[in-house]
Amino acid sequence: MNVLMSLTVICLVAVLGSGSAAAAEPAPGAAVNALKEIRETLDAGKKLLDEGKPGKAASRVAEASQAIEALAAEGTAPTAGLRSLWERCRSLRNDLELEGADVSGISPSPLKMGAAKASSSKAAAGKPAGKPMDTASPAAGAAKPVAAAQPAAKPALTFTAQVAPILSRHCGGCHIAGRKGGFQMVSYAGLMKTGMVQPGVGESSRLVEVILSGDMPRGGGKVSPEDLGVLMKWIDVGAPFDGPDPTAPIDGLARQATAPPPAVAPTKPIVAVKLKAGDVSFAADVAPVLLEQCAGCHDAMQPEANLSMVTLERLLRGGRGGSPVVSGKGAESLLIKKLKGAGIEGQRMPLGKPPLADDVIALIQKWIDQGATLDLLTPKADLETLTAAGRSQKLSHDELKKVRFQTASSLWTRAIPDEKPVVIDRGDVLVVANLSAAKSEELANTAEAVEDRLREEVMGGKPPLVKGGIVAFGFAKGYDLSSFWQTAFSDDRPKGVTAAAGVLGDVVYAAVVPPAGDKSSAEKPSAGKHHGQANASALLTEQMTTAALLGRGVPAWFAKGAGRAVAMKFEPKADLVETWRRDLPAAVQRGGSPADFFGGRGDPVAMATVGGGFIAAIMPSVSRLEALVAQLDAGTPFDQAFASVFRGQPQPLFEAWAAQQAARGPRR
Give me the residue spans of the domains in the chain.
3-119, 159-258, 282-389, 395-664
Categorize the per-residue pLDDT at 149 as very low, low, confident or very high, splitting at 50, 70 and 90. Answer: very low
pLDDT reading at 248 higher than 60: yes
Cβ-based burial of 454 (10 A; exposed 0-12, middle 13-18, buried ≥19): buried
Q: Which fold has domain 395-664?
A: Neutral Protease; domain 2 (1.10.390)
pLDDT at 637 over 60: yes
Residue 45 is predicted with a pLDDT of 87
Pair 181, 217: CB distance under 8 Å: no
Between 157 and 577, residue with greater pLDDT:
577
The set of long-range contacts for 650-657, using a CB threshold of 8 Å and a minimum separation of 24, is: 650/557, 650/558, 650/598, 651/594, 651/598, 653/614, 653/618, 654/594, 654/597, 654/598, 654/614, 655/594, 657/613, 657/614, 657/617, 657/618
Output the average pLDDT for the chain: 80
- Verdict on whether the full-model pTM lies above 0.75: no
Short-list 24, 5, 6, 4, CA closest to 14: 24
> What pLDDT is stored for residue 413 in this prediction?
93
Q: How confident is the model at residue 601 (pLDDT cuts 50, 70, 90)?
A: confident
Distance between CA atoms of residues 564 and 567, nearest Å: 5
Q: What would the pLDDT profile of 105-121 be if each residue is shown by its tens digit?
A: 887 766 666 644 433 33
Are residues 431 and 444 in contact, defined by beta-carbon separation less than 8 angstroms? yes
Q: What is the pLDDT of residue 264?
A: 43
Asked if 295 and 306 count as a contact pair (C-beta separation under 8 A), the reply is no
CB 455 within 8 A of CB 461: yes
Please write the tens of the pLDDT for every residue from 472-526.
Answer: 999 999 989 999 998 888 788 888 898 999 998 889 999 999 987 544 433 444 4
* Chain centroid offset of residue 419 CA: 30
Distance CA 656, CA 658 (A): 6
